[in-house]
Chain A
């Protein structure tokens, strides 16, 4: 391969591109001016000349927009190639937490060696189910590669290597520089249309404002807005056509070079065939999950308009929108050139690696062999069953990882029809001793069975908990887990917002895994799991975080009541996802926001209430705290505990001077008895997060994986989540 010649050719294309752009820009400038003059003559008659400087303003304004937009964007891109990635909502790779990210990073490092360039920075579009990738950057040694989640989970290592080799060849050939410059220039042309639209919306607002001056301005503003946006739209189309013309030939070359780098064609070839086969698979998966089928066109329409600017950077272009605007040669042709003949698309399943971290259920099964009607693959366990039968739960969740419990359930041959659940649990342990004859149900003594099922359930709980922890490894799982932890078992599936399709698909299975963990254990795990999940969600784009919070709020609102744990976790989510400004303590607070004696009493009353401590004791502790913090001891009682008073008190606590915060927290902790429940603990932890104070050591809790905890948890599952507020919240 002659890289130098290719780079030269890229430069030539770049020069042609600049001419084309100059042409398009001139056309837009002249177009705006011509139409404006035409409109002027239509309004005021052919004889009246436009005022002096009319043309100058038109031409100057539009030129300033085009050039200004292009220069500004190019300068920004030059400074930071990762800007494009971040604009699209991609997050930097996390090489420690997620093995798939690690693999991506490794692959890029390998290819950088092969191509003798600096390692590109890797980003992942976590909420994109399609298979795609793009690269950007002004400098060969500081480029950026963005890969979608779909590509990570559905392509094998070799295929992903092929895809990345294609991107790396773009970098080596100098296409990326060219394409990134094109992004900047197109941004300028786009600005004209955007400006026109903003003029229109201002005109509409002005007309609605009922103020004389603005209403008078509305008409010319609207006329100008229409002209500019129409011509701007034409300019945008021109930009798209240029974008398309530049890239198409280079794609074949990059494909060929990817093969030269990796010395195999099946990598990239397989990836392209999987891209072709993916829509059918996504549609099938969506039907199986009961959600609306994934429509690439609708998804493209909902995306950020910036996507349009980067279409030519992608591995596979936008869905066909007319030959003139296609940035990439058709997939079939590319596959044909790679293999020398037509190849059928491959339907990409999610990889085994990726699947292992899904909350999958063991391929057992009891259910199948017993003829019961639940479905094996996707398969949440039927909820009522999970609550009542820890033994059964273990059977379904003790997966292949579990080395201690002999799960030989697959060999169980029950008589026709579903056997009673109790019978299943009791017969289960017997299979450690020998295979039963087909059709036989082995009876064992009750005591032995119960003891064994307890042991089995313990490891099953551990396995289920492990699965929950695994889910926090990547954003979709983390989001689904958050929803599963906050929701209650019987609820209908929540409405997931924009960009959380993957999370929606995993939610059901994770909810089943949550249900498999008995109440007491779950209550102990909830806070750490939430923190793990939230840490994974923090780097997501702001709209994604907002839509997640909206989803969670929807879950909480479903039963029209707000329990204390729900409030605690939603508050944690709000704080950790950085969706509201955090008071820094340096800003002056409004006098009403400061923490007063009443706020202190509210906090103490709440802790006392959750920890089942007497009011008198809480009052004494509160008074001590008020004295320590040097507050004016006004008012008697805390009054009724409401969400408003609680939030007021929390807000007040954030304005405490930094050194007073640990004092308050220590006083609150001293109120906790040794057997305080998890609500009180979680509330204290939340308070520490909210006021930015290191959490204290909480008194140890008599909690273990033991059978007693299990039994207690099962019996009192969801009953002591006290209702804080009802429908009016």
Chain B
């Protein structure tokens, strides 16, 4: 009997290795999970940043239209299309903000924003033709803000796409993807700002 009983040290070694066998994967899962959570939060933050900048743009457009309206009495149509595009973009933004991971909502937002960009671009083309409007100090300030906002949106998208790539790498790489699928981390979509023709053209502001 005694012969088959394991010795003290042997038993503790076995226990230790068993413990390690269980603990190491558990620790790894916890670490991987935490890393994914960090990436996902960076992603959400990136998306919220775009949202902030889109809001900024939507807030600027009415001011621009008001200034332009004082000068452009016979260009009602351009102004109205800007106002309509702004409204469409604002509502698309509201619905997309609620469902940040929904690819369809984001597509819709993308399309609405490109319509707005096009409308604003046409407005600036009209402004170009009216020197007295071009010289307006308020318009000049608004233009600077709008140009800046366009850049911010671009940079925020850039930053968002970077974090999407980081996140997707984390979700799809081999051992981590087990954790990701276990805890339902889905890959996120990249933003394609140059998908539509209208958006590929820069907003013509050369005041």
Chain A residues at the B interface, C-beta cutoff of 8 Å: 99, 102-103, 106-107, 109-111, 113-114, 116, 157, 161, 261, 400-401, 403
Contact = CB atoms under 8 A, between A and B. Distances in A.
A26 B135 CA distance: 63
A106 B148 contact: yes
Contacts of A109: 148, 152
Contacts of B147: 157
Of B141, B145, B151, chain A has the most CB atoms within 10 Å of the CB of: B151
Interface string B155-181: 110110000000000000000000000
Main secondary structure on B side of the interface with A: helix
B144 A113 contact: no
A114 B160 CA distance: 9
18 contacts: A102-B141, A102-B144, A103-B144, A106-B144, A106-B148, A107-B148, A107-B151, A109-B148, A110-B155, A113-B53, A113-B155, A113-B159, A157-B147, A261-B155, A400-B131, A400-B135, A401-B135, A403-B132
B140 interface: yes
B101 interface: no
B81 interface: no
Given A109-B152, A400-B135, A401-B135, A114 B144 contact: no
Nearest to A112: B155
Contacts of B148: 103, 106-107, 109-110
Nearest to A116: B159
B189 interface: no
Contact of A114 (B132, B141, B145, B158): B158
Contacts of A261: 155
A110 B135 contact: no
B49 interface: yes
Given A107-B148, A400-B135, A403-B132, A113 B49 contact: yes
Contacts of A106: 144-145, 148
Contact of A99 (B135, B140, B158): B140
Contacts of A102: 141, 144
Contacts of B155: 110-111, 113-114, 261
A103 B131 CA distance: 22
Given A99-B140, A99-B144, 19 more contacts: A102-B141, A102-B144, A103-B144, A106-B148, A107-B151, A109-B148, A110-B148, A110-B155, A111-B155, A113-B53, A113-B152, A113-B155, A114-B155, A114-B158, A116-B159, A157-B147, A161-B151, A400-B131, A401-B135
Nearest to B131: A400
Interface of B: 49, 53, 131-132, 135, 140-141, 144-145, 147-148, 151-152, 155-156, 158-159
Contacts of A157: 147
Nearest to B132: A403
A114 B159 contact: yes
Nearest 4 A-B pairs (CB), nearest first? A106-B148, A114-B155, A110-B151, A113-B155
A103 to B, nearest CB: 6
A111 B151 CA distance: 9
Contacts of B145: 106
Nearest to B150: A110
Nearest to A161: B151
A718 to B, nearest CB: 33
B152 A110 contact: yes
A182 to B, nearest CB: 30
B43 to A, nearest CB: 12
A381 B151 CA distance: 42
B157 to A, nearest CB: 10
Nearest to B53: A113
Nearest to A401: B135
A99 B159 contact: no
Of A99, A102, A110, A161, chain B has the most CB atoms within 10 Å of the CB of: A110
A703 to B, nearest CB: 26
A99 B49 contact: no
Nearest to A100: B144
Contacts of A161: 151
Contacts of B151: 107, 110, 161
Contacts of B140: 99
Contacts of A110: 148, 151-152, 155
A348 to B, nearest CB: 18
A400 B136 CA distance: 12
Nearest to A470: B137
A106 B152 CA distance: 9
A110 B158 CA distance: 11
Nearest to A399: B135
A52 to B, nearest CB: 63
A113 B135 contact: no
A628 B151 CA distance: 64
B31 to A, nearest CB: 18
A628 to B, nearest CB: 48
Contacts of A114: 155, 158-159
Contacts of A401: 135
Nearest to A157: B147
Contacts of A107: 148, 151
Nearest to A111: B155
Nearest to B159: A116
B141 A113 contact: no
Contacts of B144: 99, 102-103, 106
A597 to B, nearest CB: 52
A111 B156 CA distance: 9
Nearest to B145: A106
A36 B49 CA distance: 63
A327 B141 CA distance: 38
B44 to A, nearest CB: 14
A161 B135 CA distance: 24
Contacts of A113: 49, 53, 152, 155-156, 159
A400 B159 CA distance: 43
Nearest to B49: A113
A116 B42 CA distance: 11
Contacts of B49: 113
B70 to A, nearest CB: 13
A116 B161 CA distance: 12
B146 to A, nearest CB: 10
A113 B49 CA distance: 8
B12 to A, nearest CB: 41
A120 to B, nearest CB: 15
A3 B158 CA distance: 16
A116 B155 CA distance: 10
A267 to B, nearest CB: 11
Contacts of B158: 114
Of B140, B141, B158, chain A has the most CB atoms within 10 Å of the CB of: B158
B183 to A, nearest CB: 26
A157 B150 CA distance: 13
B172 to A, nearest CB: 20
A4 to B, nearest CB: 12
B141 A99 contact: yes
Contacts of B131: 400
Nearest to B52: A113
Nearest to A114: B155
A548 to B, nearest CB: 28
A109 B152 CA distance: 8
Contacts of A103: 144, 148
A107 B150 CA distance: 11
Nearest to B136: A401
Contacts of A111: 155
A102 B155 CA distance: 19
Contacts of A403: 132
Of A103, A107, A113, chain B has the most CB atoms within 10 Å of the CB of: A113
Contacts of A116: 159
A116 B159 CA distance: 7
B170 to A, nearest CB: 16
Nearest to A105: B148
A261 B145 CA distance: 20
A446 B53 CA distance: 61
Contacts of B159: 113-114, 116
Nearest to B46: A116
